[in-house]
Structure 1
Amino acid sequence: MREEQKAKIVEDLVKGKNILITGSYGLGKSTLAQELMHELACQEKFVVFYFPFPKPPKLILIKAIEKLCLRGLNPPSGWKFSSLYQLCEIIIKYINGSPFNLVLFLDEAQIITENAIQVYSELLNSGKVQFVLCGHSPAFDEKFSSLKFKYFFNAFTVYKIEPLSYSEAKTFLDSCLKERKLNLDENTKTKLLLQAGGNLANIIRGLDQISQGEEPNVYTSQNSTNLFPLFIFLIFVIIGLKYLYRGVGDYALANFSGFLGLVLFFIIRYFYFWRK
């Protein structure tokens, strides 16, 4: 799955580049990152480390040093109480004298902070520490409004993950069915794949629903309709009519408009709160 894209990313990492993997929720960014990590771990040139979040930076640095200790790093006593930049110095000093690079895989990169950026920039400037960051692409727009974020991410090669093709999604579904020891008829498979829209998380959620004896219902946001703006528009129309009828002296219609507003309010409450 995504073999061509994965091969290009590995090639870039071998060249010493930093990678930013973006895409909508559920498309398999984390899965791709973990596959890359396992592939790099087989190469002597790399020491790889995965953390599910890009913060807190101190914990990540400590875990990275512990990983390097398995490759011969002997940090000074009391090193865990060092400052962030002292921890960076420990990593950089060891890595610069080693034949391998340290590759940090950090997930959920859209929540990265400026403080973390400053720390990671120290590692980035060493040339021997590489990053593979994964995050939701819409959320990165806000990050790029800051010059500090722009400067940091300019050092990254961006790979945008697209939804799986139908055949790729079918292959993924078949592997999940084999792993879960489930059997589905072709109609149910087709229904689930069409609803999922190439989204791995939706396929998994659909299988969870089927396992619980439910019908799969995992339409992607592209296939669903957001009725909330329509509800808001109707409320304003009803309020406008209420005051219009009151202004012309038709109090019966004004009261009826108010009644419709209350009904619509409770409908919204039902769909957006109680049904959850």
Structure 2
Amino acid sequence: MTHFIAVANQKGGVGKTSIAAHLACLAHETGQHTLLVDLDQQGSATLLCTGDGGRHRTNVGTVLDLWNDHIEKLNIQESLFGFDVLQASHELDAVDDDLEAAVRALQKLDDYGYDTIVIDCPPAPGVRQFAPLLIADRQVVPITADALGTQGLVGVLMQNQKMVLPRNAGLDLRIVVNLHKATSGTQKAVIEQLRQHLGGKLLEPVLTDREAVKHALRAGKPVWAVTKEPFGQEAWRAACEELLSFAEDDGMTDEEGEAA
């Protein structure tokens, strides 16, 4: 059974792609056949996975091939991290006018035998953010503990309630505070408010703002592979382990989980 994880929010600059890459890294490390799909036409995940900043500037051999029924074999490549990647195209906005076609395109991935498929969605609401949520088992929403971050979260919650859950009632929502500044009293207060309102949907621990994360990704490694500091092992790895833990959740609704 393939598990689909959509990393999606409505605000850029919150470390969405970093989290998507780390999820794919840990899934691969733990023996899962893993694919990262880059649906963001900016191609940040494609850059991380290939080291080529211009790789996405094509419409040949990209994720766009999912929309072409005449292409029988996708151009899936091995990333620098070891897991597989289906790269973005700078022309992805060409598929933004047909939601049902996007859903059918993404559903094709279920036939490729992956254990885990992580989809890096664009930050703007639209077809390429909405369609993955209709097929996903879990949505991971990275946010920052500030006014703009929480505003983006409100947009996500409203979209899910009105548009996603009526068609994918089993979607599991997990919210991750990223780029946290541990010395900020304001951010601590925001996080406490989020805990009160979101309960178990807010992932613990929060992820702090560290340059080591960027350095690790540029080297083609997860942060826990390059640092022994607690934030690497005890925060980033622990967070990813939690986000990849499907075994105990399979077949369990939110109500059943709360009752248990």
Shorter-chain TM-score tier: 0.3 to 0.5
TM-score, normalising length from structure 2?
A: 0.36
**Structure whose CA Rg is larger:** 1
Query: Which structure has more RCO (C-alpha within 8 Å, separation ≥ 6)?
Result: 2
TM-score, normalising length from structure 1?
A: 0.35
